[in-house]
Amino acid sequence: MKKKLLSILFGSALVFSLAACGGNDEAGEDTATDDNTSGEESTADAGDAQKLYDNNCMSCHGGDLSGGAGPALDKIGANYSADEIHDIIINGKGAMPGGLLNEEEANTVAEWLAAKK
């Protein structure tokens, strides 16, 4: 009985975690639209990266990048390059599902996170 209850609890937690990591797709689409109209790429990218993170990643990795259901990202650039971070965002890793961001969004967030050392 304990195993069955534990399985149900674990399964529910996993489903909740995966659903929460997806964030708000509509907000991510709005941000991508804003990025295409931005004239200042370097300044806009940092702001866009923060918005994309807030809308799609914060629920698992924390508002201050300190972690939660997912690992801390506050010093992720010390361990992974922008290309490696991009690959994780696109393909997923461990319990993190892939495809939460499109290629352009993943590039923006990966560059931003790679600077966190």
Q: How far is CA 69 from the centre of its chain?
A: 12
- Is residue 57 marked as binding? yes
Would the pLDDT of 23 be above 50? no
Q: Which domains does the chain have, with CATH numbers?
A: 2-114 (1.10.760.10)
| pLDDT computed for residue 46 by the predictor | 73
96 in a labelled binding site: yes
Q: 36 vs 81, which has greater pLDDT?
A: 81
3-state secondary structure of 5: helix
pLDDT at 45: 64
The verdict on whether residue 60 carries a ligand-binding annotation is yes
The pLDDT tens digits for 46-99 are 789 999 999 999 999 999 999 999 999 999 999 999 999 999 999 999 999 999
Whether the per-residue pLDDT at 33 is higher than 50: the answer is: no
58 is in an annotated binding site: no
- Whether residue 41 is predicted with pLDDT greater than 70 in this model: the reply is no
Distance CA 84, CA 93 (A): 11
Cα 96 → chain centroid: 9
